[in-house]
Structure 1
Amino acid sequence: MVGHATLLVQVAGVNLLTDPVWSERVSPLSFIGPKRVTEPGIAFDKLPDIDAVLLSHNHYDHLDLTTLRRLQAAHSPLMVMPYGNDKIVRQSVPDAKIKVGDWHDTVQITPEISVTLTPANHWSARGIRDRRMALWSGFWINSPKAQVWFAGDTGYGDGALFRDIRVRHGRPDVAIIPIGAYEPRWFMSDQHVAPDESVRIFEDTGAHQAVGMHWGTFQLTNEARNEPRELLRDSLVLAGIDVKRFLALEPGEFFSDSAVR
């Protein structure tokens, strides 16, 4: 866990980053906006060689152009994203290697590893005139070692989206599911799940193991920093699920493949 929705995923010899953000703020301006309250779990210059970057959508806490420019200069990774986000990235990182897709499209990372864009209940915008002009998604990482699903940002809705992911792809070995940025519910419920809904996604997809993301790094909404982790534990206990099967990782903590089936 690097922080927020940024994770280093190492599978079958490939290093992937999800929604990489190493900046101090997530905002169109460098001097104002939500500020990082935890140090990145991995220092940027300590990263291994990054093969690919998975960008779920264009909100500033997920698509950080400053970080993408740094990654391009240091690693020149393949950048995979839903349609429309490539225009934003190319304006700032013109020499980036980019592949785009629609929901359910598959992009090959290596001959053995691919990612499929999965639907999410969310939206996109960088300003006031481009709302929903770029697509948003999660990513199913298909490898010979493990199946890893990164949900991206999402609301729960009626849950059909997540049950369909299980039908299409099977049960993920590891699901990376958002647990934070959910208050107030009257405003956030359509776009961000609360921890009890995160547990429902875990059950709907049949994941063997889950890692909670999208909490504790940037103060985006009204809940206290540690509340998502506490409510996640309460929701797991209420559902009769071993709390070790769904971990809310702090920056710098990790989940290893010793528990991957």
Structure 2
Amino acid sequence: MNKRTAVNDARDMPRVDELVPRTKPDWGKPENADKMKATWMGHASYLVEMPRDGPAPTSEKSTKDEGRGVTILFDPAWSKRCSPVQFAGSIRYQDAPATVDEIPEIDILCLSHNHYDHQDTNTLTAIYKRFSHRPPVLCVGLNGTDSLPSIIPRNRVVEMDWWEEREITVEGKGKVKVTCTPAQHMSKRGAFDTAKALWTSYAIKSLWFGGDTGYRHTESESHDPSANADLPHCPAFKQIGERLGPFSLGLIPIGAYEPRWFLSSVHCSPIESVRIFQEVKAKTALGIHWGTWHMAWEAVDEPPKLLKAAREALGVTEAQFGVPVLGETRAFEA
């Protein structure tokens, strides 16, 4: 841990409930059955429920999962530490808002890449133990199967290349098309597998999940919108918007960006997050990839503050690109 991170931890940890407020998830109100519902589960993890096909069950014996639309879980990483082991590494300062036993039944699980803050073996194992009667379909990038826990049935794993599409049918709920889209990042699970598995983002119906991505490389620490404007940036976001947009909702990373000379290639800053929002043609967006672990130099509450400044600089409103409470469910047009 560097000195700057240690100082931030000492300042922020006692105030974490103020800096990253949380609520118990309700997974969305029944009257929003025709909407897409998204619940922030911490860091980059989101639980998204697509609109239901047909009327809800009316039987008194209906379970909490009956009548739900196709439910998709992105990058679940709910362990205490962001690390290969649970006795060392970055410790979580805000717990996930619900346990695996409390979430609705998951139909599809999407992993953006295999870093430990996105592919968490403990969480994946718990999910596939709970839903062993009907294991979720798991989408990963090319060569992403090898690092998965053995409990996950390999016949339920779908490896995808960028721009590849798969239609997934969920019995009793309908079909969704999952498109694997590019990102500017990397993969690494151990000492000898750097970039051997593909890192991705995903487009599903009117949703785009950014996962973990950079925008351009820069060594400038400036967050002014005019800074670095002459530098080239990743063209993938504009391509995603042109080929698959517009999207009702983008889930876009806003944190873990300092120092820029080291992290800008793989993690976007809030001003870049807003530019990505504009390029993918999202109508609304929610910030992800912050508020869980101290993975970089910035303070816990800096990403939302810089996002506010970035919105104002680029003419985007809070209603268009906001930051929810941890565990909060918001509804969007599908």
The verdict on a shared fold, with TM-score over 0.5 as the criterion, is yes
SS in structure 2 of the partner of residue 86 of structure 1? coil
Q: Which has the larger radius of gyration?
A: 2
How much does 1:244 deviate? 1.6
Compare 222-231 and 236-245 and name the one that shifted more: 236-245
Instruction: From 116, 128, 145, give the equivalent of 2:179.
Output: 116
* 2:257 is the counterpart of 1:182: yes
Structure 1 window deviating more from structure 2 (69-78 vs 215-224): it is 69-78
From 158, 162, 168, give the equivalent of 1:99: 158
* SS of residue matched to 2:180: strand
Letter in 2 for 1:118: T
8 Å contact 2:215–2:272 — kept in the other structure? yes
- Distance in 1 (CA, whole Å) between partners of 2:200 and 2:152 is 23
Q: Which residue of structure 1 lines up, in the alignment, with residue 288 of structure 2?
A: 213
Report the TM-score when normalising by structure 1: 0.94
Q: Distance in 1 between matches of 2:279 and 2:327?
A: 28
Determine the C-alpha separation between the residues in 2 that align with 1:187 and 1:253.
32
2:175 partner SS: coil
Residue in 1 aligned with 2:17?
none
Post-superposition Cα deviations, 1:93-137, rounded to whole Å, max 9, x if no partner, equal 253521111001112222531110000000010111110011100
AA aligned opposite 2:127:
L
Which residue of structure 1 lines up, in the alignment, with residue 47 of structure 2?
8
User: How many equivalent residue pairs?
Assistant: 254
Q: What residue is the counterpart of 1:141 in the other structure?
A: 204
The question of 1:171 aligning with 2:246 is answered yes
31-40 vs 247-256, which moves further: 247-256
Q: 1:200 aligns with which of 275, 289, 296?
A: 275
CA distance in 1 between partners of 2:97 and 2:46 (Å): 9
Q: Is the 8 A contact 2:128 2:152 kept in 1?
A: no
Give how far 1:163 is off.
0.5
Pairing partner for 2:104 from 22, 31, 48: 48
Query: Deviations 1:69-89 (Å, cap 9, x if unpaired)?
Result: 111111221111001111111
CA deviations on 1:190-229 (whole Å, 9 max, x unpaired) are 0000000000001111210001000010110000001000
Secondary structure of 1:88's partner? coil
Answer yes or no: is the 8 Å Cα contact 2:147–2:189 preserved in 1. Answer: no
Aligned residue type for 2:298:
E
TM-score, normalised to structure 2, is: 0.74
After alignment, is 26-35 or 104-113 more displaced? 104-113
Q: How does 1:56-75 map to 2 (within 5 A)?
A: 56-75=112-131
Q: Deviations over 1:121-173 (max 9, x none)?
A: 0001011111001110000002xxxx000011111131411000011102111
Unmatched 5+ stretches in structure 1: none
The letter for the 2-side match of 1:37 is Y
**Is 1:85 aligned to residue 144 of structure 2?**
yes
Alpha-carbon separation, structure 1, partners of 2:251 and 2:236: 16
For residues 182 and 18 of structure 1, the distance between their equivalents in structure 2, rounded to whole angstroms, comes to 21
1:26 partnered with 2:82: yes
Q: CA RMSD in A?
A: 1.3
SS in 2 for 1:109: strand
SS at match of 2:145: helix
Kept in 1: contact 2:184–2:234 (CA 8 A): no
The answer to whether the 8 A contact 1:80-1:99 is kept is yes
Task: Give the corresponding residue for 2:4.
Answer: none
Mean Cα displacement is larger for which, 51-60 or 155-164? 155-164
What per-residue deviation string (whole Å, max 9, x for no partner) do you get for residues 38-58 of structure 1?
Answer: 121223211001001100100
CA contact (8 A) 1:159 1:201 kept: no
Contact 1:38 1:251 (8 Å CA) reproduced: no
Q: Which structure has more RCO (C-alpha within 8 Å, separation ≥ 6)? A: 2
Question: Where does residue 241 of structure 1 map in the other structure?
Answer: 316
**Quick one: which amino acid aligns to residue 274 of structure 2?**
V
**Unpaired runs of 5+ in structure 2?**
1-39, 52-68, 217-232
